[in-house]
Amino acid sequence: MEHFAFIICSQDDARYRRCFQYLQALERPDVQMEVLRVASRHSIAAAYNRAMERSAATYKVYLHDDVFILNRRFCRDVLKIFRADPSIGLLGMCGCKKIPPSGIWWEGKSYGKVYHGDPPRVLLFNQPAGLYEVVQAVDGLLMVTRCDLPWREDIIDGFHFYDLSHCLEFIRRGYRVAVPRQEEPWCYHRSPGRIDAEYERLRQVFLREYAEELSGNQVG
């Protein structure tokens, strides 16, 4: 039996309950599931590290509390990809083939789809030709890992760029990152996101730390 841990970063009881309700509706074919709630006002990477250390699950699903998993076959579909390619260490719902020099992933050639915003609309990128598309980074609205690597709370001490950082840490260790083919979006992400001074600060931190990985990357 495969073991999944769903790790939700949440400080809002109502949003957490709604997120949890969608998890309860998932099909569980030979799957053991646990749900861990973590909270942090300062660093999502630190919160995820705490949860990672608490769980022995092989597969960990890190998600925001305003992300609702609509695909009831989610666990089965995730396992299908991980079993098809043992080199894949991390999955996300949407991401980019190569991170642009700006560090803003959606400015690059992107793949995947998700319901996004309130009211929801489909955020649609390129569709993978096969079961999945190998990419350099995915968005942190939902990330699934098959092994544990520390989140870089030592450098990413806020709520932006923890996702791209984690993807590149997996790649540094020889794993691949991928986006699944979705006929309909697997998730609804209610928040429209926010770009502010904190986003810019962490963007510069990210660009300095991963300059080698980003060198030579072009938009498109």
Residue 176 has a CB neighbour count (10 Å cut-off) of: 18
* pLDDT number for residue 156: 97
Q: Among 204, 8, 201, 193, which Cα is nearest to 106's? A: 193
- Both tokens assigned to 167: 């993807």
pLDDT one-digit tens code per residue, 153-183: 999 999 999 999 999 999 999 999 999 999 9
Percentage of the chain modeled with pLDDT above 70: 98
How far apart are the C-alpha atoms of 143 and 7, rounded to whole Å? 10
Burial class of 143 by CB neighbour count within 10 A (0 to 12, 13 to 18, 19+): buried
Report residue 62: phi and psi, to 5°.
-100, 125
- Residue extents of the structural domains in the chain: 67-214
* pLDDT number for residue 195: 82
Answer whether residue 125 shows pLDDT above 90.
yes
* pLDDT number for residue 186: 99
Stretch 126-142: mean pLDDT: 98
Question: Is residue 220 very low, low, confident or very high in pLDDT (cuts 50, 70, 90)?
Answer: very low
End-to-end alpha-carbon separation of the chain, Å?
Answer: 41
Angle at 210 between CA 208 and CA 211, to 5 degrees: 65
CATH superfamily membership of 67-214: Spore Coat Polysaccharide Biosynthesis Protein SpsA; Chain A (3.90.550.10)
Percentage of the chain modeled with pLDDT above 90: 92
Question: Is residue 218 very low, low, confident or very high in pLDDT (cuts 50, 70, 90)?
Answer: low
User: Which of helix, strand or coil describes residue 84?
Assistant: helix
